[in-house]
Chain A
Amino acid sequence: MVNRSRRVDQAKRIHQYLPDPLRYSKEIFKFGYVRGVILEAALKSELLMQLKLKFTGVFFYKPMVFILCLMPFALLVMNAINNELGPNPVEEMIRTLGDWGIYFLLIGLSISPARKILNQTWLICYRRMIGLFAFFYASMHFLSYIWFDQFFSVAEIVEDIIKRPFITIGFICFLLLVPLALTSTNRMMKRLKKNWGRLHKIVYPVSMLALLHYFMMVKADYLVPGVLLVVLSLLLGYRLVLKFKR
């Protein structure tokens, strides 16, 4: 009996530290992933059952989502090492990274609408991570271009950026994403106050330009960028509708 009550006490104590889905953001920022993982380990077995999964919420799943987001990159690197990217590995790598950059931009843009439509507030916890992954894939896309396509030849890269409109636009997208990534910390959020939100609206033109970049490199088959355009139009259209409703 004594043993059991002690366990319940312990559970209650841990419970305090677990984020309530509605108070998520502050809690998440206070405790990093590592602590989350330790807590998770502690909660395994009986305790986990008692506390119910939903209270562990975001805290619990965030590291998993992080790893999931990293999977396309890990797979690509693995295939590159094993020489499994096909006859033109450089093209395959650059394109795959670019694709994922756009996918993550669109996933990031779908979080707010999904949160409102599905009434799932906790979704917002993942927005920053997804946004940073969009930046990560865009950076790797750009890096693989300057590395494996141009071998860091500054003259050729500059010429490409100036001469080829679709590369110009891709480069602009990358440049515009940099300040967003740099101001993604809590401290910058607090410091910029209202301007933070204004600044981060840049993601709307960036996503449009990123798709334009895709459209401009296609030779004849516009199916894939076309589908992405429909998705982007819905996501941005939703925001427009909300704005005019107000």
Chain B
Amino acid sequence: MSIFIKSDSKSAIKASEITTESDYLSRRDFIKKSGILVGATWAGGISLPAAAKSSEYGNDFPDLIKTTYGKGETLTSFKDATTYNNFYEFGTGKKDPARTATNFKTDPWSITVEGEANKTGTFHLEDILKHAQIEERIYRFRCVEAWSMVVPWVGFSLAEMLKRFEPTSKANYVQFETLYDPVQMPGQVRRVLDWPYRDGLRMDEAMNPLSFMATGIYGHHLPNQNGAPIRLVVPWKYGFKNIKSIVKIRFTEHEPACTWNVTGPKEYGFYANVNPQVDHPRWSQATERVLGSNFWAPKAKTQMFNGYGEQVAHLYKGMDLKKYF
């Protein structure tokens, strides 16, 4: 039942992170026996205190295709990934979304496509998902606040979806928008951010094979606090680019407005690529705190493009990344 799709690069994986053969074999065994997701086994091997347990996995996607993305990474525990969330629509505290998003209605859900594309209009989520090849990818996730986690996302390639809307030659950028519904999203009652939340990518960034639309994590449907029912995941950028609960996709000719960029243009750039050499004005981006690690664990070194340089560095060739941060 497990089809392995090879990601076209090994760059993200350090030699030290590669699982030994015996672990690998036992992993195959494990998958055959249990049919449970890939990441859990080697998480056990590295044995960090709060790493994900296989019991935390769901089986909401029976036809899930496993991939080799993030092979060897220690997964963050499901509990940590679902109780420590920046989702200001549901409150600005990290614990707020898990508490206040419980009754959020994500069904029915539709996405409006507009702007520079041939196939615009409003689409039901099921119709969008119908064409999608649902797969699992383990990605590192680096928040602009200098913490990080490793999450097994379930979803599909962003490029595959965008192509179906047939963007025109004028579509240089794509902008996404989160739902605006203060009745359901109590955080939107106060104007903490310029609602609705918006973010965007340059078209070539969006078309990069790494760019992903997630509908699940850890084999579960996406929990509300993690951006249900559908969200963006661009692992080489800071977390805030990974816009949640998307209701609108707009193809634009010019660089679109992005909420955090509008809120603090000196602190949050349009690109927001993970870059240990460009500090946030208020804190260093050279290191990151891995979620679930205890008091005595040192902070981890942050990698350029969050370690995905081989796949995405060419997108920024010739650009001054200190200026276009």
- Which A positions have Cβ atoms within 8 angstroms of B? 80, 83, 86-91, 93, 148, 151, 160, 163-166, 216-217, 219-221, 223
Name 20 interchain pairs, CB-CB below 8 A, sorted by A.
A80-B295, A86-B80, A86-B83, A86-B84, A87-B76, A87-B77, A88-B84, A88-B94, A88-B147, A90-B295, A91-B147, A93-B295, A163-B279, A216-B282, A217-B282, A220-B92, A220-B192, A220-B193, A221-B92, A223-B190
Q: Does residue B102 face the partner (Cβ distance < 8 Å to A)?
A: no
A160, closest chain B residue (CB): B284
Instruction: Flag the segment in B114-122, B127-135, B165-173, B286-294 that touches A.
Output: B286-294
Most chain A CB inside 10 Å of its own CB: which residue of B49, B190, B192? B192
A156, closest chain B residue (CB): B284
Give chain B interface residues in 265-318, CB to chain A under 8 Å.
279, 282-284, 289, 291-292, 294-295, 298
Chain A residues with CB under 8 Å of B50's CB are 87
Chain B residues with CB under 8 Å of A151's CB are 298
B289 touches A90 (CB 8 A): yes
Q: Does residue B59 face the partner (Cβ distance < 8 Å to A)?
A: no
Distance (whole angstroms) from the CB of A82 to the closest CB of chain B: 12
A87 touches B88 (CB 8 A): no
A166 touches B289 (CB 8 A): no
Most chain B CB inside 10 Å of its own CB: which residue of A160, A221, A223? A221
A83 touches B294 (CB 8 A): yes
Rounded to whole angstroms, the CA-CA distance of A90 and B79 in the bound complex is 17
Chain A residues with CB under 8 Å of B295's CB are 80, 89-90, 93, 148
Distance (whole angstroms) from the CB of A61 to the closest CB of chain B: 34
Known A86-B95, A87-B83, A88-B289; further 16 A-B contacts with Cβ < 8 A: A83-B294, A87-B50, A87-B76, A87-B79, A87-B149, A87-B292, A88-B84, A88-B94, A88-B291, A89-B294, A89-B295, A93-B295, A160-B284, A220-B88, A220-B192, A221-B92
Chain B residues with CB under 8 Å of A219's CB are 145, 264
Rounded to whole angstroms, the CA-CA distance of A87 and B306 in the bound complex is 20
Nearest 4 pairs between A and B by C-beta?
A87-B80, A221-B92, A87-B84, A87-B291
Q: Does residue B263 face the partner (Cβ distance < 8 Å to A)?
A: yes
A166 touches B282 (CB 8 A): yes
Rounded to whole angstroms, the CA-CA distance of A160 and B279 in the bound complex is 12
Chain A residues with CB under 8 Å of B149's CB are 87
A223, closest chain B residue (CB): B190
Chain B residues with CB under 8 Å of A80's CB are 295
Distance (whole angstroms) from the CB of B79 to the closest CB of chain A: 8
B81, closest chain A residue (CB): A87
Give per-residue flags for B59-88: 1 if the beta carbon is below 8 A from chain A beta carbons, else 0: 000000000000000001101100110001
B286, closest chain A residue (CB): A156
B263 touches A220 (CB 8 A): yes
Chain A residues with CB under 8 Å of B95's CB are 86
Rounded to whole angstroms, the CA-CA distance of A223 and B149 in the bound complex is 28
Give chain B interface residues in 180-203, CB to chain A under 8 Å.
190, 192-193
Give per-residue flags for B244-272: 1 if the beta carbon is below 8 A from chain A beta carbons, else 0: 00000000000000000001100000000
A164, closest chain B residue (CB): B282
Give per-residue flags for B91-133: 1 if the beta carbon is below 8 A from chain A beta carbons, else 0: 0101100000000000000000000000000000000000000
Distance (whole angstroms) from the CB of B185 to the closest CB of chain A: 14
Distance (whole angstroms) from the CB of B210 to the closest CB of chain A: 25
Distance (whole angstroms) from the CB of B281 to the closest CB of chain A: 8
Rounded to whole angstroms, the CA-CA distance of A90 and B84 in the bound complex is 14
Rounded to whole angstroms, the CA-CA distance of A219 and B266 in the bound complex is 12
Chain A residues with CB under 8 Å of B94's CB are 86, 88
Chain B residues with CB under 8 Å of A166's CB are 282
Chain A residues with CB under 8 Å of B147's CB are 88, 91
Chain A residues with CB under 8 Å of B193's CB are 220
Chain A residues with CB under 8 Å of B49's CB are 83
B289 touches A221 (CB 8 A): no
Rounded to whole angstroms, the CA-CA distance of A88 and B147 in the bound complex is 8
A86-B83, A87-B80 in contact; A221/B282 too (CB < 8 A)?
no
Chain B residues with CB under 8 Å of A89's CB are 294-295
Chain B residues with CB under 8 Å of A90's CB are 289, 295
Rounded to whole angstroms, the CA-CA distance of A89 and B80 in the bound complex is 11
Distance (whole angstroms) from the CB of A20 to the closest CB of chain B: 47
Give chain B interface residues in 211-245, CB to chain A under 8 Å.
none
